Amino acid sequence: MDSLKALLEDLIHRTPEVYGVILVTTDGFPVSYAFRGSVDQAEIDKQAAVIASLASLARRSTESMDLGSPEEILITAEMGRMFVYRLEDIAALGVVTAKDVTAGFVLLRIRQMLPVLMEEFKNTLNPGG
Amino acid sequence: MRTHTEILRDFESIAGPIGPHAEVLREYADKLQEWDEFFAKAFYDRLFSYDPTASIFRDGERTEREETLKIWYRKVVSGEYDDTFWEWQFRRVGLVHVARGIPNEFMLAAMAFVQNVFLMKVKDEFPPDEAARIYLAFKHVTDAIATIIAAGYMYTYLEAVSESTGMSLKLIERHAKLVAQREYADGKSE
């Protein structure tokens, strides 16, 4: 779990526009997270369930439209943006950013991290390989 | 999702086995089955006399519903239950209730009414000791049916939400637990 947290903290450290990032299981439990500043554990639990739900809803919607599985969900809110990624069928990642973010740059950083994160997560699920 | 077999096993472990009660009903089945008309009329008189339950039915549907209830009642008092019977209560009745917007509270209240009507009837028709024995048997079996239907309704409802949204039952359960835990904690601190 430390290696997962290190990856998430590294993303925040290298990308000032990223406020927070949560890795969750598909059934809505937080696996690891990193935020600028402190965040209440109850809020993390709630966000984890919501992020997993967004990933599920997006998949149901895109598959119903014959678009295949969703790669990325972008929500633009009044004060920021949220990106949600479904990581195969075992996890989802929520990334909270500033609103005036240069989306391409942040997306590149996130997308570069995803395969590494996925590999680490699989290792934590199955440490023996 | 839990199965009707698991729910029935829980019911029997907590409330007591159904077998001995089914045996009592089998003993009196011929007589009890004669009351099907009486039951169907009493049941639908009550449901049609209350607007929220009456509004569930379509115009001209009552005769069809009474026939279905008569079949159900005769089956219940026959004391003969196989797996198909319990599965039907769990899956089919749950589906019908969700599809028609019949909440569990209506079903449970209606089942209580059926039990009350049965008690009045059995007291009129049998000596007190026999009446008590038959009523307890009927109540136990119909309590089991109500338990199965209530669970079937809930699981059918959850499966429908899961199917529609893509959210797994575990994820829906996670949402429910988080909200319940928060509201419980808020209630304790008030």
A57 contacts B168? CB cut-off 8 A: no
- Inform me whether the C-beta atom of residue B177 falls under 8 Å from chain A C-beta atoms: no
**pLDDT of res. A117:** 94
**pLDDT of res. B186:** 86
In the structure encoding, which two tokens stand for residue B83, read together?
């797996």
**pLDDT of res. A104:** 80
pLDDT per position as a tens digit, B91-139? 888 888 888 889 999 999 999 999 999 999 999 999 999 999 999 999 9
**pLDDT of res. A101:** 74
**pLDDT of res. A106:** 83
**B170: nearest CA in chain A?**
A27
Q: Which chain A residues are closer than 8 Å to B168 by Cβ? A: 26-27, 56
Burial A33-53, CB ≥16 within 10 A → b, else e: bbbeeebeeeeebbbbbbbbb
- Chosen for mutation from A40, A44, A45, A64 (greatest number of chain B CBs closer than 10 Å) is A45
Of B165, B167, B182, the CB nearest to A42: B182
**A62: nearest CA in chain B?**
B166
Distance CA B167, CA B188 (A): 30
- pTM for the complete prediction? 0.83
Asked if A20 and A36 count as a contact pair (C-beta separation under 8 A), the reply is yes
Residue B7, burial from CB neighbour count under 10 angstroms (0-12, 13-18, 19+): buried
- Inform me whether the C-beta atom of residue A77 falls under 8 Å from chain B C-beta atoms: no
- Inform me whether the C-beta atom of residue A31 falls under 8 Å from chain B C-beta atoms: no
- Inform me whether the C-beta atom of residue B174 falls under 8 Å from chain A C-beta atoms: yes
**pLDDT of res. A95:** 96
Q: Which CATH number fits domain B4-188: 3.30.479.10, 1.10.490.10, 1.20.1250.20, 1.10.287.3510?
A: 1.10.490.10
**A44: nearest CA in chain B?**
B178
Distance from CA of B161 to the nearest CA of A (A): 11
Distance from CA of A15 to the nearest CA of B (A): 31
B164 contacts A53? CB cut-off 8 A: no
In sequence order, what E strands does B132-176 have? none
Distance CA A111, CA A122 (A): 17
pLDDT per position as a tens digit, B73-93? 999 999 999 999 999 889 888
CA B73, B74, B77, B82 torsion: positive or negative?
Answer: negative
Ranges of residues in chain A with a pLDDT under 70 are: 1, 128-129
ipTM exceeding cut-off 0.95 for this assembly: no
What are the structural domain ranges in chain B? 4-188
Distance from CA of A98 to the nearest CA of B (A): 27
**pLDDT of res. B180:** 93
Asked if A120 and A7 count as a contact pair (C-beta separation under 8 A), the reply is yes
- B112-120 LR contacts (CB < 8 Å, sep 24+): B113/B43, B113/B46, B114/B39, B114/B43, B114/B142, B115/B139, B115/B142, B117/B39, B117/B42, B117/B43, B118/B39
**pLDDT of res. A129:** 56
| pLDDT for B187 beyond 90 | no
Asked if B152 and B93 count as a contact pair (C-beta separation under 8 A), the reply is yes
Of A28, A42, A63, the CB nearest to B174: A28
Which residues have CB under 8 Å from B125's CB, separation 6+? B31, B131
**pLDDT of res. B142:** 97
